[in-house]
């Protein structure tokens, strides 16, 4: 598990002016992503302030050597899968070298500067080819609230506090922030009428933390919970779009299908475990009446440091609000420390039956909030969500904008 080091020093400054005080991309963060500029090829970059540092070009210019060069070569293609496969030591080495190159006073500043691109002039892409996508029901507050809507008399099923519940989602419809999302068509059913087919009237969002898988495991070889942290390549924000009217009709007995498979939006930047090391915290204790995790899901170190203290929020800005000069409206605020299961527990359980995880697989976990979905806040409302979800400012002013941060 990553520990704090000199790259987290709050006094550290970059020679990139916009990085100082930047709310998303100060020099202490340095997330990885895949970008292109104009008609150029997709390549690896690191966000720093309002700029993108071109890893691929810097590699060609000889700014990396030794283990950092090996890691940069793995990251230099049109996706980060090979970089994810290298694991934590290579990632830490490359991140440390990038931090050195971007630090104020770096002797190689004049060599680095040509490889900085304005983020506004670039297009972001999916950071990796997603082979498999598993959605976990890891937030007990969300599970309870959703259950109250679908099963008022039995909201939380008996297995929830024993088993990290998840389902296999559709990887092909995962898209990077800013890609338009269409309301899906499907079967809908009201209480007193036969099913009908048409566009969803109850499109909803779900605020989740996406977990990118690193090296992974061979088929039939489970990952022990104590080693699970080394298989996390990074994190992203994730919007698990959900057509609630379709979901309510189709989800039994096998869970959601068309209600969720039409689109999943993720932020394009991969925040590394190293960047979030200062935000590690203890897993909140379970109520005395709850069962303890089974032995394969329990690790003392994971209980002491396996949770993350990250505040997340969802904001909505409509064209009408923008025309009136109104600020975005907060729909929800949440924190990842309220997850019932740690991320290590999710990985250990996922592989406990022998399932193999591969570099670039994606495993989101819902955050906690009483109203982290519109569904929970206003189930009967007919038009509940925007048709787009983005995580950074939109370029199409005519559309509604949902921001997760």
Q: Which residues carry out catalysis?
A: 142
CA–CA separation, 272 and 141 (whole Å): 27
Cβ atoms < 10 Å from Cβ of 192:
5
CA–CA separation, 164 and 228 (whole Å): 15
CB 139 within 8 A of CB 341: no
Q: Which residues of 50-62 are buried (b: 16+ CB within 10 A; e: fewer)?
A: bbbbbbbbbbeee
Nearest to 16 by CA among 93, 76, 101: 101
CB 31 within 8 A of CB 47: yes
Q: How do the residues of the chain divide into helix, strand and coil, expressed in percent and rounded to 5?
A: 30, 25, 45
Retrieve residue 254's tokens: 């096998």
Nearest to 272 by CA among 80, 50, 131, 125: 80
SS3 category, 375: helix
Asked if omega into 198 is within 30° of 0 (cis), the reply is: no
CA–CA separation, 27 and 97 (whole Å): 12
CA–CA separation, 331 and 47 (whole Å): 27
CA 301 to chain centre: 24
Retrieve residue 216's tokens: 């992974």
Token match 């898209």: residue? 175
Nearest to 129 by CA among 59, 87, 82, 88: 82
CA–CA separation, 93 and 101 (whole Å): 13
CB 206 within 8 A of CB 366: yes
């Amino acid at each position: 598990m990553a520990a704090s080091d000199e790259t987290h020093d709050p006094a550290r400054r970059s020679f990139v002016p916009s990085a100082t005080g930047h709310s998303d991309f100060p020099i202490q963060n340095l997330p990885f992503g895949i970008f292109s500029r104009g008609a150029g090829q997709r390549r690896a970059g690191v966000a720093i302030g309002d700029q993108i540092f071109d890893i691929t070009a810097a590699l060609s210019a000889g700014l990396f050597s030794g283990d950092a060069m090996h890691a940069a070569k793995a990251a230099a293609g049109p996706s980060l899968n090979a970089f994810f496969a290298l694991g934590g030591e290579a990632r830490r080495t490359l991140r440390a070298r990038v931090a050195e190159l971007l630090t104020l006073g770096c002797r190689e500043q004049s060599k680095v500067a040509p490889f900085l691109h304005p983020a506004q002039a670039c297009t972001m892409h999916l950071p990796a080819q997603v082979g498999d996508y598993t959605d976990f029901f890891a937030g007990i507050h969300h599970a309870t609230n959703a259950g109250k809507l679908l099963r008022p008399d039995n909201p939380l099923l008996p297995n929830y506090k024993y088993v990290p519940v998840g389902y296999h989602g559709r990887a092909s419809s995962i898209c990077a922030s800013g890609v338009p999302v269409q309301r899906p068509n499907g079967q809908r059913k009201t209480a007193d009428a036969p099913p009908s087919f048409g566009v969803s009237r109850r499109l909803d969002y779900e605020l989740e933390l996406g977990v990118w898988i690193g090296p992974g495991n061979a088929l039939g070889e489970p990952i022990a919970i104590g080693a699970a942290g080394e298989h996390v390549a990074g994190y992203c924000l994730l919007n698990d779009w959900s057509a609630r009217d379709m979901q309510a009709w189709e989800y039994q007995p096998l869970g959601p299908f068309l209600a969720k498979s039409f689109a999943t939006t993720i932020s394009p930047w991969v925040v590394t475990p190293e960047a979030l090391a200062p935000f590690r915290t203890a897993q909140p204790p379970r109520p005395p009446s709850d069962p303890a995790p089974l032995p394969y899901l329990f690790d003392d170190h994971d209980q002491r440091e396996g949770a993350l203290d990250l505040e997340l929020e969802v904001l909505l800005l409509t064209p009408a609000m923008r025309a009136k000069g109104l600020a975005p409206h907060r729909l929800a605020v949440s924190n990842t420390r309220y997850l019932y299961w740690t991320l290590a527990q999710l990985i250990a359980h996922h592989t406990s039956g022998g399932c193999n995880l591969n570099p670039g697989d994606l495993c989101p976990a819902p955050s906690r909030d009483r109203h982290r979905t519109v569904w929970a806040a206003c189930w009967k409302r007919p038009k509940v969500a925007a048709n787009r979800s983005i995580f950074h400012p939109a370029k199409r002013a005519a559309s509604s904008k949902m921001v997760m941060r």
